[in-house]
């Protein structure tokens, strides 16, 4: 009515939300929406979570829905998988995914394979979530990317968010999914604020699993990344744009199932490809993308070999200067782009 009378109604403004708060919103909304959802892990309840992702949830939902566990990943992951088999919807937090190695049998042999081995009779609707990849100053045993590890395994879905909308939408989709989902977050992004649209603030907002997003359109070269390196790609693209190079930046968002169609369509347009990841090069996510492009129709459109920009092929050093040289930086992406374009 106001619009008809000539008044201009302004759309509700987007807000700045940290990745931490986006994850907290997702957990809160899904705990409220479905009484079968519960959260368990080390310090998730009374301490509000090691990274404050579950802040306020124990006070709101109580001991039966937000459960502190002993320091025993194999034990509480097994409890969570068993609960999922009887159609509860557990969200199992690993304080870091490095510690998920203690529960690898539960994740791979119990969660991932049960639906297949039961001929579909037993679903396992569980989410394994927590920080993944390099943090800062925590050395080799706390600085690994598990995207390739878990992305290798049939029976799992694997998601890797970058910004606040990714984090909220993918976690909500993961909790609602009837399959086991591994959600690889990044500790260094928890405190970073991103713009969240009005749509993303809705309780009905989800990000579909298996669908990549073009964060920045471009015509000269395709950059594909997931998690924190997406931000590095965006920075590199801004620098290169000043030199007349327009990069198309794809936020992969899901590692398995991989949205290779979006990557192929971009490569057909730009004729060049650089993949960026924090993990090790051998058998990595970038290696899989390059192989899929080579095997598919987009290969015929490449004007130069695809290039991978990855973490160094060494355990993560402790010293900061060495750590910085072991993870892809903006300058490394720019170098890879110029190498690919021969400029």
* Region 104-119 average pLDDT: 97
Question: Is 152 a known active-site residue?
Answer: no
Look at strands 127-131 and 66-68 and give their pairing: unpaired
Q: pLDDT band at 4, cuts 50/70/90?
A: very low
| Cα 166 from Cα 170, distance rounded (Å) | 6
pLDDT at residue 338 above 50?
yes
Q: pLDDT band at 11, cuts 50/70/90?
A: low
Do 74 and 110 meet the contact criterion of CB atoms below 8 Å apart? no
**311 is written with which tokens?**
């973490």
Domain extents in the chain = 15-201, 213-341
The per-residue pLDDT for range 38-69, each reduced to its tens digit, is 999 999 999 999 999 999 999 999 999 999 99
**286 is written with which tokens?**
């970038």
End-to-end CA distance of the chain: 57
Reported pTM: 0.93
Q: pLDDT band at 94, cuts 50/70/90?
A: very high
Choice among 29, 30, 42, 73 that is catalytic = 73
Question: Is 232 a known active-site residue?
Answer: no
Choice among 142, 152, 235, 246 that is catalytic = 142
CA distances, 199 to each of 13, 43, 161, 169 (Å) = 11, 32, 18, 11
**24 is written with which tokens?**
């907290």
Give CATH superfamily name and number for 15-201: Thiamin diphosphate (ThDP)-binding fold, Pyr/PP domains (3.40.50.970)
Q: pLDDT band at 299, cuts 50/70/90?
A: very high
Look up residue 332 and give its DSSP letter.
H
Average pLDDT for the chain = 95
Q: Give the CATH number of domain 213-341; options: 3.40.50.20, 3.90.209.20, 3.40.50.1860, 3.40.50.920.
A: 3.40.50.920
Count CB neighbours of 64 within 10 A: 8
**152 is written with which tokens?**
């290798």
pLDDT of residue 10: 53
* Fold match between domain 15-201 and domain 213-341: yes
pLDDT of residue 1: 43
């Amino acid at each position: 009515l106001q619009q008809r009378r000539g008044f201009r109604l302004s759309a509700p403004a987007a807000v700045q939300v940290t990745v931490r708060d986006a994850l907290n919103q997702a957990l809160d909304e899904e705990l409220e929406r479905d009484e079968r959802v519960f959260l368990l892990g080390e310090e998730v309840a009374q301490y509000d979570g090691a990274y404050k992702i579950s802040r306020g949830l124990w006070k709101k939902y109580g001991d039966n829905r937000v459960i502190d566990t002993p320091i025993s990943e194999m034990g509480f992951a097994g409890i969570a998988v068993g609960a999922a088999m009887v159609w509860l919807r557990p969200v199992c937090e690993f304080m870091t995914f490095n510690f998920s190695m203690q529960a690898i049998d539960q994740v791979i042999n119990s969660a991932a394979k049960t639906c297949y081995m039961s001929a579909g009779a037993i679903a396992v609707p569980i989410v394994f979530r927590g920080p993944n990849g390099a943090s800062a100053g925590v050395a080799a045993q706390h600085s690994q990317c598990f995207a390739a590890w878990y992305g290798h395994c049939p029976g799992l879905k694997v998601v890797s968010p970058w910004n606040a909308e990714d984090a909220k939408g993918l976690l909500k989709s993961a909790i609602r999914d009837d399959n086991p989902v591994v959600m690889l977050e990044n500790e260094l992004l928890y405190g970073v604020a991103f713009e969240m649209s009005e749509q993303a603030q809705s309780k009905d907002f989800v990000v579909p699993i298996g669908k990549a997003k073009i964060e920045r359109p471009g015509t000269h070269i395709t950059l594909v990344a997931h998690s924190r390196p997406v931000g590095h790609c965006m920075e590199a693209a801004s620098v290169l744009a000043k030199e007349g190079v327009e990069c198309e930046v794809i936020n992969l968002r899901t590692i398995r199932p991989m949205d290779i169609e979006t990557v192929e369509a971009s490569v057909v347009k730009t004729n060049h490809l650089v993949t960026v990841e924090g993990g090790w090069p051998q058998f990595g996510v970038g290696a899989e993308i390059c192989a899929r492009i080579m095997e598919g129709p987009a290969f015929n459109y490449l004007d130069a070999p695809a290039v991978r920009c990855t973490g160094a092929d060494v355990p993560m050093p402790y010293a900061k200067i060495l750590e910085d040289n072991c993870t892809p930086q903006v300058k490394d992406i720019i170098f890879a782009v110029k190498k690919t374009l021969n400029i």
